[in-house]
Structure 1
Amino acid sequence: MNKVSFAFTAIAILLAASILPSVGSENVSPVISNEKTIEVPVKIYTLHGVKEIKKELPVEEVAKLMYMTNETR
């Protein structure tokens, strides 16, 4: 993936984290244990450098993000 794809994915994940409390906050009740999740590494490019974070997202959300990322190419 190129930098634009990473940036778009990072923005999409941060947006999802702000909308879905189970994705963005650690102090909210944990994700249902029988729900399949994937740990997604995300690079955020800022003026101070690159920060890499990892988010655990439901499989369905990751599939949607990958579909949206592939549409931008």
Structure 2
Amino acid sequence: MNCDIRSFQQVRTAFEMINGQRNLCMCKKLEQTRLSRRALTYFVFVGAFHVLLEPSLPTLLKNKGYPVERIL
């Protein structure tokens, strides 16, 4: 098994790109849901990579002006 640092970096770059696109789509869908349902508070549960890798879902939502609270 060949596990050099370049392979790891390539995989990480590819995964960040895919995850970033997914987060952009998720952010858009959450915004559409909020606008269509008019609830005051939402609880959104996402997997770790949506929070850890940038652009993260919390960062995208904060940049749009939404209050985001992390619950551990």
Both proteins in one fold, TM over 0.5 = no
The structure in which a higher percent of residues are helix is: 2
TM-score where L is the length of structure 2? 0.38
Asked which structure has the greater CA Rg, the reply is: 2
The structure in which a higher percent of residues are strand is: 1
TM-score where L is the length of structure 1? 0.37
